[in-house]
């Protein structure tokens, strides 16, 4: 009887996990870019982003993810800096209000997977591969990973600023699905 | 206990003028950079200002240690109130040599910008990132810097008064070149 119950429970849990795409929980997820100015590492979060993730631990290769980030929500911590990075030389948030990542292929790998997909910033697309770690959390799964972005590739920042700000930007994400 | 010398040691003199010069640069840079509009130049000035401040902090630590190990020259004759004022001013100046850079460093940490000395060595954050705390620390740093500026003026005015009006050796004991009025008279 006990075993039967356990099997039923496991089956229902598996079914729940197998369910279709779930939204990204903005309250629990974080997306932080770290850039270096004069060799000083500065962490700055994107405050607004949304997305959906279709993930089943039993069928990782079928997973799908799409994330859309409001470039105007990049928060360096001071109004002056924030106004600067929304200008045309940087994110050009007026013309390109969003940046996005859409997965095209998922390859299981250890405790996570490698996500291949298209990263689009400022209207320019780049195919990237990101190692992602998947962890079970209450009510769903959390996805953690880091990717390197070249500002020059996407035309973020101009020559004058490149003198003091490194080209490489590290983006760290912690994405949690809504329960 | 060694006898009090007639002038400061060469090391003390070098540190005194070096730190003074660095403070003048850091203060001037601080005044200019805070008024600049957002620009790469502004970020550079902020970085240089921090490097100057950390250098002052380090040199001041060496200087304070040196001062504890090496007696200062015997003060020239002056009224007791002037002696007390001098002692007070010097102690206050010494305290600010540490407090001004430390408050700036703490302000930088609270703002979420670690100090990377000379762009090479990242110093530990003294406090966690905290916007409200950062604003208070900014005001504290500014107030302490102005206090240092005021004491600097008093210090320079007193040295010039001793040199030009009292015509005593107070300033000469700290000059890099040797030209004590007393020793000149001895030579003659």
Q: Does A87 touch chain B (CB under 8 A)?
A: no
Q: Does A179 touch chain B (CB under 8 A)?
A: no
Tell me the chain A residues in contact with residue B122 when contact means C-beta distances shorter than 8 Å: 40-41
Instruction: State the pLDDT at residue B53.
Output: 98
Instruction: State the pLDDT at residue A25.
Output: 93
Distance CA B115, CA A41 (A): 9
Q: Chain-wide mean pLDDT for chain B? A: 91
Cβ atoms within 10 Å of A94's Cβ, excluding its own: 11
Tell me the chain B residues in contact with residue A84 when contact means C-beta distances shorter than 8 Å: 38
Instruction: State the pLDDT at residue A8.
Output: 56
Q: Does A160 touch chain B (CB under 8 A)?
A: yes
pLDDT tens series, chain A, 179 aa: 556 666 555 555 444 445 578 899 999 999 999 999 999 999 999 999 999 999 988 899 999 999 999 999 999 988 888 999 999 999 999 999 999 999 999 999 888 899 999 999 999 999 999 999 999 888 889 999 999 999 999 999 988 888 899 999 999 999 999 88
DSSP string, chain B: -PPPPSS--HHHHHHHHHHHHHHHHHHHHHHHHHHSPSSHHHHHHHHHHHHHHHHHHHHHHHHHHHHHHSPPPPPPS--HHHHHHHHHHHHHHHHHHHHHHHHHHHHHHHTT---EETTTEEPPPSS---HHHHHHHHHHHHHHHHHHHHHHHHHHHHHHIIIIIS--STTGGGSSS---HHHHHHH-
Sequence-distant contacts of B170-174: CB under 8 A, at least 24 apart: B170/B75, B170/B76, B172/B7, B173/B6, B173/B7, B173/B8, B173/B73, B174/B7, B174/B8, B174/B13, B174/B16
Choice among A2-16, B12-26, B99-113, B153-167 with the minimum mean pLDDT = A2-16
Instruction: State the pLDDT at residue B38.
Output: 85
pLDDT tens figures, B140-154: 999 999 999 999 999
Percent of chain B with pLDDT over 90: 79
Q: Does B153 touch chain A (CB under 8 A)?
A: no
Q: Is B87 left (phi over 0), alpha (psi -120 to 50) or beta?
A: alpha
Would you say residue B188 has pLDDT above 70? Answer: no
Average pLDDT over residues B156-175: 92
Query: With contact defined as beta carbons under 8 Å apart, do A156 and A90 qualify?
Result: yes
- The first and second tokens of residue A72, run together, are 């105007």
Distance CA A154, CA B164 (A): 65
Q: pLDDT band at B7, cuts 50/70/90?
A: confident
Instruction: State the pLDDT at residue B4.
Output: 59
Q: pLDDT band at B184, cuts 50/70/90?
A: very low
CB contact under 8 Å between A38 and B116, yes or no, is yes
Q: Does B114 touch chain A (CB under 8 A)?
A: yes
Instruction: State the pLDDT at residue B71.
Output: 85
In a mutational test of the A interface, the residue from B112, B117, B131, B138 whose CB has the highest number of chain A CBs within 10 Å is B112
Q: Please, where are the H alpha helices in A26-173?
A: 79-85, 151-154, 159-162
Element (H, E) at A18: helix A2-18
Q: Does A164 touch chain B (CB under 8 A)?
A: yes
Task: Name which of B64, B12, B24 is nearest B152 in CA terms.
Answer: B24
Tell me the chain A residues in contact with residue B120 when contact means C-beta distances shorter than 8 Å: 39
Min Cα–Cα distance to chain B from A24, Å: 27
Distance CA A107, CA A62 (A): 9
Is the four-CA dihedral A134, A135, A137, A139 of positive or negative sign? positive
ipTM computed for the complex = 0.77
pLDDT tens figures, A114-154: 999 999 999 999 999 999 999 988 888 999 999 999 999 99
């Amino acid at each position: 009887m006990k075993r039967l119950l356990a099997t039923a429970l496991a089956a229902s849990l598996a079914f729940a996990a197998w369910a279709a795409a779930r939204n990204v929980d903005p309250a629990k997820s974080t997306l932080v870019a770290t850039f270096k100015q004069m060799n000083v590492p500065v962490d700055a979060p994107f405050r607004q982003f949304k997305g959906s993730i279709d993930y089943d631990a039993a069928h990782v290769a079928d997973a799908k993810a799409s994330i859309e980030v409001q470039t105007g929500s990049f928060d360096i911590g001071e109004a002056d800096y924030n106004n600067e990075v929304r200008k045309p030389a940087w994110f050009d948030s007026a013309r390109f209000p969003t940046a996005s990542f859409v997965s095209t292929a998922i390859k299981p790998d250890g405790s996570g997977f490698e996500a291949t997909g298209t990263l689009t910033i400022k209207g320019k697309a780049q195919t990237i591969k990101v190692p992602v770690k998947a962890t079970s959390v209450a009510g769903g799964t959390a996805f953690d990973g880091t990717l390197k972005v070249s500002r020059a590739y996407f035309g973020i920042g101009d020559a004058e600023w490149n003198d003091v700000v490194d080209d490489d930007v590290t983006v760290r994400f912690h994405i949690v699905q809504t329960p | 206990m060694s006898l009090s010398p007639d002038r400061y040691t060469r090391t003390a003199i070098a540190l005194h003028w070096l730190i003074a010069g660095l403070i003048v640069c850091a203060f001037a840079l601080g005044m200019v950079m805070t008024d600049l509009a957002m620009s790469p130049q502004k970020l550079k000035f902020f970085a240089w200002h921090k490097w100057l401040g950390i250098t002052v902090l380090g040199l001041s630590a060496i200087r304070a240690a040196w001062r504890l190990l090496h007696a200062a020259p015997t003060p020239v004759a002056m009224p007791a109130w002037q002696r007390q004022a001098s002692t007070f001013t010097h102690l206050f100046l010494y305290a600010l040599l540490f407090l001004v850079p430390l408050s700036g460093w703490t302000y930088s940490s609270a703002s979420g910008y670690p100090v990377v000395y000379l762009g090479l060595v990242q110093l530990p954050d003294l406090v966690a990132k905290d916007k409200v705390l950062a604003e208070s620390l900014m005001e504290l740093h500014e107030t302490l810097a102005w206090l240092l500026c005021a004491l600097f003026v008093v210090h320079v005015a007193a040295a010039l008064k001793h040199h030009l009006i009292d015509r005593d050796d107070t300033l000469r004991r700290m000059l890099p070149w040797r030209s004590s009025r007393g020793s000149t008279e001895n030579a003659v």
